[in-house]
Amino acid sequence: MLDPSIRPQTVQRYLLPAEKCVIAVRRHWSVLLRPIAAAVGGVTLAVAMALYFPDENVVVHLLLWPAIAACAVWMLWHYLVWRHDYFFVTDRRVMVTTGVLTRKVLMLPLSKVTDLKYERSLAGRVLGHGMLLLESSLEEEALSTVEYVPWPDKIYVRMCDLLFESEA
């Protein structure tokens, strides 16, 4: 299950020489709903203030443009974060990469995963995402939950297949 929008070079960057990538996806697009709603709300508030205050109130009108620009930049930042966050499952490891300016890679060996669960809220069922819960035999887990996973049913089944395959 490889997301076609993810470039092969992006996947290869994190793979070991003999490792095969089985799952490579971005977090579900619904992770952007809250930032979009907040940005739209901020712009709507700024427009309402522009309409409410008369044109003679120059200070308010001058402060509205930076507020609108800040909403747009904030929304763009969340989009960039979404575009650069990936969830990879190989035949050996589970990885989550995050960050735009500073990259962070969380990794858990597949052989150390002792339990795999997933949850889907009502919103997750409607929009098509879920949350994977990974339990391991390691004392310190770098990776225990992966939120906003697209196609969680298929990914869960494929990961279970890999886990049982590695036990056999």
pLDDT in tens, 22-48: 999 999 999 999 999 999 999 999 888
pLDDT interval class at 166 (50, 70, 90): low
The SS3 assignment for 47 reads helix
Q: CA 70, CA 42: separation in Å to the nearest integer? A: 9
CA-to-CA separations, 141 to 66, 76, 104, 116, 135, in angstroms, rounded: 42, 31, 15, 14, 8
Q: What is the pLDDT of residues 84-128, one digit of tens each?
A: 999 999 999 999 999 999 999 999 998 888 889 999 999 999 999
